[in-house]
C-alpha cells in the first residue's frame, strides 16, 4: 500500500521534526560539555578585539551543526559577537532575508566603518574570515 502524495509529505515532515527534536538537544549538550577554551589576551588587546568585533552579528539556528561549529570557532578566538536566532526570532529572520537575500545559516553580518554591510554565508568561509582577522 502506498500513501497518497500529500500524506507522504506530511509523514516525512513529522519524521524529520522528530529526528530534529531528538538530535538537537544531544548536539547542544555535546557542545556545552566540550566547550573549547578561548585565547587569553591582555585586557587592552581584548578590548581592541572587542571594538573590532562590535559590528559583527551572526545569524544562526541554535541546533544547526554548522552554526554550532561556527560558534565554537568564535569561542576559541575569544570573540564577543552578537548572535541572533533566525529560527525563533521573526525580526532576526526578516533582517537576514532582507539584508542577505536568503534565510540560510550560519550567516555573518559584517558592518564596515564606511557603512557598507557584507553578508558572509557558509561556516568554512566565516571561520576563515574570523581566523584571518582575529587570530
Separation CA 56–CA 121 (nearest Å)? 13
Cell 502524495 belongs to which residue?
5
The pTM for the full model equals 0.85
**Are 110 and 56 in contact, with CB atoms under 8 Å apart?**
yes
Mean pLDDT of 108-128: 94
Domain 43-134: state its class: alpha beta
Separation CA 61–CA 100 (nearest Å)? 16
Separation CA 21–CA 110 (nearest Å)? 32
**Are 32 and 69 in contact, with CB atoms under 8 Å apart?**
no
Per domain, the residue ranges of the chain are: 1-34, 43-134
The predicted-structure confidence for 97-109, as pLDDT tens digits, reads as follows: 999 999 999 999 9
Amino acid at each position: 500500500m502506498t500513501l497518497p502524495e500529500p500524506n507522504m509529505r506530511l509523514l516525512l515532515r513529522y519524521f524529520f521534526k522528530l529526528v530534529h527534536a531528538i538530535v538537537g538537544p544531544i548536539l547542544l549538550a555535546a557542545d556545552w560539555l566540550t566547550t573549547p577554551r578561548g585565547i587569553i589576551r591582555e585586557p587592552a588587546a581584548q578590548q581592541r578585539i572587542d571594538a573590532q568585533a562590535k559590528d559583527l552579528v551572526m545569524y544562526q539556528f541554535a541546533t544547526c551543526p554548522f552554526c554550532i561549529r561556527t560558534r565554537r570557532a568564535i569561542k576559541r578566538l575569544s570573540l564577543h559577537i552578537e548572535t541572533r536566532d533566525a529560527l525563533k526570532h521573526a525580526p532576526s529572520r526578516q533582517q537576514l532575508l532582507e539584508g542577505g537575500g536568503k534565510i540560510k545559516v550560519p550567516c555573518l553580518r559584517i558592518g564596515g566603518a564606511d557603512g557598507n554591510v557584507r553578508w558572509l554565508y557558509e561556516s568554512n568561509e566565516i571561520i576563515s574570515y574570523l581566523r584571518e582577522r582575529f587570530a
